[in-house]
Amino acid sequence: MRILVVVAVAFVVWFFLRKRDRKIRVALSSSSPAIDRWLSDALPTALAGKLGGKGIARAQIVETLSGNPDPHVVSEIETAVRAIELEYIRFPAEGSRDPRASTLEVRARVRFQDGTEENVTASIPYAEAPASVRDDFEKKATTRAFRTWDFPWMSGR
């Protein structure tokens, strides 16, 4: 009888720890659907200036970022872009101390291999930020958070 109780307790502990691990993995995401949509709209303009001289049209960049990657365009983007860094800046809502009532300014810095950079900016509701960014704002009491962003074909989405 004691063995049965020990096995049952071990199963319950394993079950809850397994669920907790899943939640942690989800919370560590560095992007969100809202950010991905915004970047797929904003990046073609930023990239077209660099890639236009190589015979790549803005429409080809849009198509590649929309989930239909052209190998030639992907290669040229990866050759031209060194990194995309996102900066989230929290602006508290007036009269509210609740961080969830705030808006965020999101700035994407597209750093190119030649040392130049393009910046694009948008404002989003706090709830549309990635879970890891919201977690930083809530636990660290900071007003800025930084993340890198990878192209869709790099993360296997």
Enumerate the domain spans of the chain.
Answer: 30-151
Higher pLDDT, 2 or 11: 2
What is the phi/psi pair of residue 147, to 5°? -145, 155
Average pLDDT over residues 137-146: 87
**71: amino acid identity, one letter:** P
Average pLDDT over residues 56-74: 91
- Say whether pLDDT at 89 is over 90: yes
What is the phi/psi pair of residue 30, to 5°? -100, 5
pTM of the model: 0.72
